């Protein structure tokens, strides 16, 4: 597995090369370099996955964790910060997801970014992002994860701000970085606590004679003293994860992040980076299950409730947005929340094959996998549409199905997948999640089913709004929309095929909570309900939105105009943030501090200097040069000394 190092190094060198030499390269060369490097990385990832999953399982029925590289990068007292590569089922699965989507985005961008200024820079940043994301998932320790976590954050910042002359993009990139950074601060503090009490950052360690020691397994057997603080550390890490994965209330950066180029949204803000938080929770799962509670609440319980609320909130907002990328962004938030909930419901340690308590883990990873594919497909499709009509607004679209047949079909497949209609992939993974939720608590199960119905509704609202409904004649008169070039439609077709097929992957054989092969079997009670509900919502959406004019939707929007406006304004969450940052942090903290510094502290030193000056000015009269005055003082002095001697 030595070649896995290349998976990280190749994109890094491609980043350096394109970043430094980019301006002397033509667009075509730069794109080819970036894409071909990514092609190699994808091949290597698939080779790794093949080799990993075809290797014989260990005696306990699990795939062995491999540690091809691990070296000390920075010593920190008793602790050390290592860099390395760790292969276990979820990291190998992530390699596949990241490299596949990234390659599709690289190819797609050839067409989408054609002729764009800064094309080389764009590919350089894509390489940087891919490198960081791959480094994150193969991290051997929590600190390496944090390091690449920051790097993906900055790549995202750079790519959101790609159109750096647009004020909206500047604001969005800044917001994305600062909000996630704020969450990362908690992550960092969590790491500090974790490192101190656990005594190592490593998930696994290279033991004697090539064995890999499962450090996390050992930590689970820790004594009570350390056990008090580990849940706190895990809770703080979850805040970090919630920031990256856009959980309420840290989700606010994600909709704005749509200011970046659409392929970037597909790669970073739909398929890969935003699931980093889910990945983090999955990675820490053994600890989360072993170390119970902070003040009576389990960390996983918090994960569930944050997830449930976020899923609902985002779905509600998605129903009222008119910008297609925003709808997709809220849908992403909602779907990631599904994955979070699925992890949160894994409350019990996996013990046997069919243990319900551990089903959520597999379901979450499965959904992560399928979601990455169909959501990337949706975004890339949206990119084709935006490319064709030069607008993000649904009002500029409508009736596009006859102009863009490939985009239409692939988009429809993705919509069916996210709505949970068999046999598309989303159905299978979502069904597992719902089953896990029902096992956790019927309330969560029903609630998540209802959100799944909302998902189907808003996705089909979007679908009908784009491809059916009223055609914007005025706009199309200038410029007839046309199908995207082959270089853009090929990734769509590929991802559509994956979306159709991925549901039949025996995912439980590769990834499961206890590492043993697990046969996915559909719980027809849950599956049947969710299919019926999904179909009903699709029919409802069809009824409301398929026609040229939409009287029902309009009247409903009017009737519930308050609610609609609140949802459209995303429940004014952004305004709250504006208020906190500008009115409180800038105006109430920074400004007074700056004033205090200039006027009080600096004023004090200026006062000292002024005092010295004034003193000198006032006593200079003594040195006037007038002899009579000197004589007077002289005699006074003598008088005083004489008196002193006489009295003493």
Partner 1 sequence: MENIQNVLYLSSFVFVPMVMLLGLWLARNINQVRGVMVAGSSVLLLLAVKLVFDFLGARAADPTSEMLFTGHIDWFDALHIKYAVGVDGISVAMLLLSAIIVFTGTFASWKLKPLTKEYFLWFTLLSMGVFGFFITVDMFAMFMFYEIALIPMYLLIGVWGSGKKEYAAMKLTLMLMGGSAFLMCGIFGIFYGAGGNTMNIIDIANHTNGAHAIDTGMQCIWFPMTFVGFGVLGALFPFHTWSPDGHASAPTAVSMLHAGVLMKLGGYGCFRIAMYLMPEAAQELGWIFLILTGISVVYGAFSACVQTDLKYINAYSSVSHCGLVLFAILMLTQTSCTGAILQMLSHGLMTALFFALIGMIYGRTHTRDIRELNGLMRIMPFLSVGYIIAGLANLGLPGFSGFIAEMTIFVGSFENADLFHRILTITACCSIVITAVYILRVVGKILYGTCTNEHHLQLTDATWDERVAVVCLIVSVAGLGLAPLWVSNMIRTGVAPVVEHILPTAQAVAGF
DSSP 3-state of 81: strand
The residue ranges of DSSP E strands in 225-307, in sequence order, are: 293-294, 297-298
Alpha helices in 161-203 (DSSP H): 167-198
Specify the residue, 55 or 192, whose C-beta has the smaller distance to partner 1: 192
**Spatial separation of the C-alpha atoms in residues 383 and 363, rounded to whole Å:** 29
Nearest distance, CB of residue 206 and partner 1, angstroms: 17
| CB nearer to partner 1: pick between 554 and 606 | 606
In the complex, what is the shortest distance from the CB of residue 570 to partner 1, in angstroms, rounded to a whole number? 23
Q: Which is nearer to partner 1, 617 or 645 (CB)?
A: 617
Q: Closest approach of Cβ 19 to partner 1, in Å?
A: 9
- State both tokens at 18: 């394109």
| Distance in Å, CB of 195 to partner 1, minimum | 6
Where do we find the tokens 């290797």? Answer: 55
- CA 410 vs. chain centroid, Å, equals 25
Nearer to partner 1, 170 or 522 (CB): 170
**Contact present, 414 and 483 (Cβ < 8 Å):** no
Minimum distance, C-beta of residue 74 to partner 1, in the bound complex (Å): 5
Give the total residue count for the chain.
648
Q: Per DSSP, which regions of 471-524 are E strands?
A: none
C-beta closer to partner 1: residue 148 or 313: 148
By the 8 A CB rule, do 231 and 299 touch?
A: yes
Q: How far is the CB of 76 from partner 1 (least distance, A)?
A: 4
Cα three-residue angle 598-599-604, rounded to 5 degrees: 105
For 227, counting Cβ atoms within 10 Å of its Cβ (0-12 exposed, 13-18 middle, 19+ buried), the class is: middle
**74 contact partners, CB below 8 Å, separation of at least 6:** 80, 81
Cβ nearer to partner 1, comparing 148 with 424:
148
List of residues 6+ apart from 146 with CB closer than 8 A: 184, 187, 188, 191
* Structural contact between residues 380 and 491, judged by C-beta atoms closer than 8 angstroms: yes
Neighbours of 473 (CB within 10 A): 9
Residues of the shown chain interacting with partner 1 in the complex, contacts defined by CB under 8 A: 72-79, 81, 143, 147-148, 150-151, 154, 157, 161, 164-165, 167, 170-171, 173-174, 177-178, 181-182, 184-185, 188-189, 192-193, 195-196, 585-586, 589-591, 593-594, 597, 601-602, 604-606, 609
Instruction: For partner 1, give the closer residue by CB, 189 or 302.
Output: 189
Shortest Å, Cβ 239 to partner 1: 13
Tell me whether residue 193 or residue 376 sits nearer to partner 1 (CB atom): 193
* CB-based contact 542:464 (threshold 8 Å): yes
Token pair for 589: 């903290």
Return the number of the residue (75 or 525) whose C-beta is nearest partner 1. 75
Closest separation in Å from C-beta 99 to partner 1: 22
Q: How many other β-carbons are positioned within 10 Å of the β-carbon of residue 497?
A: 14
Between residues 173 and 499, which has the closer beta carbon with respect to partner 1? 173
Return the structure tokens found at 147. Answer: 């390091």
Q: Tokens at residue 243, please?
A: 């920031």
Are 346 and 298 contacting, i.e. CB atoms less than 8 angstroms apart?
Answer: no
**Least distance (Å) between residue 397 CB and partner 1:** 29
- Residue 63 Cβ vs partner 1, minimum distance, rounded to whole Å: 30
């Amino acid at each position: 597995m030595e070649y896995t190092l290349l998976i990280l190094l190749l994109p890094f060198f491609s980043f350096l090369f394109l970043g430094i030499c980019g301006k002397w390269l033509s667009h075509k060369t730069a794109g080819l370099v970036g894409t071909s490097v990514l092609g190699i990385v994808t091949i290597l990832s698939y080779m790794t996955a093949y080799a990993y999953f075809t290797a014989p399982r260990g005696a306990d029925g699990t795939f062995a964790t491999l540690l091809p590289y691990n070296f000390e990068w920075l010593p920190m007292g008793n602790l050390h910060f290592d860099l390395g590569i760790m292969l276990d089922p979820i990291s190998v699965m992530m390699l596949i997801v990241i490299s596949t989507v990234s390659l599709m985005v690289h190819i797609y961008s050839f067409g989408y970014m054609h002729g764009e200024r800064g094309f080389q820079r764009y590919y350089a940043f894509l390489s940087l992002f891919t490198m960081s994301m791959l480094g994150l998932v193969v991290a051997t320790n929590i600190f390496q994860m944090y390091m690449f976590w920051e790097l993906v954050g900055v790549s995202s910042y750079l790519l959101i701000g790609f159109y750096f002359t647009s004020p909206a993009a500047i604001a969005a990139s800044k917001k994305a970085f600062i909000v996630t950074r704020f969450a990362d601060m908690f992550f960092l503090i969590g790491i500090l606590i974790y490192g101190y009490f656990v005594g190592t950052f490593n998930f696994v360690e290279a033991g004697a004679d090539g064995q890999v020691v499962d450090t996390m397994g050992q930590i689970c057997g820790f004594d009570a003293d350390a056990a008090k603080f580990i849940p706190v550390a895990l809770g703080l890490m979850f805040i970090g994860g919630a920031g990256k994965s856009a959980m309420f209330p840290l989700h606010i950066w994600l909709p704005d992040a749509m200011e970046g180029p659409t392929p970037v949204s597909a790669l970073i803000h739909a398929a890969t980076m935003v699931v980093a938080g889910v990945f983090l929770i999955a990675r820490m799962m053994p600890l989360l299950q072993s170390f119970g509670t902070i003040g009576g609440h389990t960390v996983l319980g918090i994960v569930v409730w944050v997830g449930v609320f976020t899923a609902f909130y985002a779905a509600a907002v998605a129903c009222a947005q008119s910008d297609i990328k925003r709808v997709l962004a809220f849908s992403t938030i909602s779907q990631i929340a599904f994955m979070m909930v699925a992890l949160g419901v894994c409350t019990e340690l996996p013990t046997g094959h069919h243990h319900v308590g551990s089903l959520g883990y597999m379901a979450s990873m499965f959904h992560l996998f399928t979601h990455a594919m169909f959501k990337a497909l949706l975004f890339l499709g949206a990119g084709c549409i935006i490319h064709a009509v030069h607008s993000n607004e649904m009002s500029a679209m409508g009736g596009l199905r006859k102009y863009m047949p490939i985009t239409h079909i692939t988009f429809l497949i993705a919509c069916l997948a996210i709505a949970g209609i068999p046999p598309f992939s989303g159905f299978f993974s979502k069904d597992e999640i719902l089953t896990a939720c029902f096992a956790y608590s019927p309330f969560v199960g029903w609630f998540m089913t209802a959100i799944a119905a909302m998902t189907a509704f808003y996705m089909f609202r979007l679908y009908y709004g784009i491809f059916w409904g009223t055609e914007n004649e005025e706009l199309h008169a200038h410029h007839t929309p046309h199908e995207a070039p082959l270089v853009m439609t090929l990734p769509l077709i590929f991802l559509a095929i994956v979306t159709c097929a991925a549901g039949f992957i025996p995912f439980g054989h590769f990834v499961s909570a206890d590492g043993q092969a697990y046969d996915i079997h559909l719980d027809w009670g849950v599956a049947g309900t969710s299919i019926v509900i999904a179909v009903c919502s699709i029919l409802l959406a069809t009824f409301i939105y398929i026609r040229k004019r939409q009287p029902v939707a309009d009247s409903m929007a009017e009737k519930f105009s308050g609610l609609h406006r609140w949802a459209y304004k995303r429940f004014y969450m952004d305004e709250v943030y504006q208020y906190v940052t500008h009115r409180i942090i800038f105006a109430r903290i920074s400004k007074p501090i700056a004033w205090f510094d200039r006027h009080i502290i600096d004023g004090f030193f200026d006062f000292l200097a002024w005092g010295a000056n004034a003193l000198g000015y006032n006593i200079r009269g003594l040195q006037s040069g007038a002899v009579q005055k000197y004589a007077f003082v002289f005699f006074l002095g003598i008088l005083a000394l004489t008196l002193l001697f006489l009295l003493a």
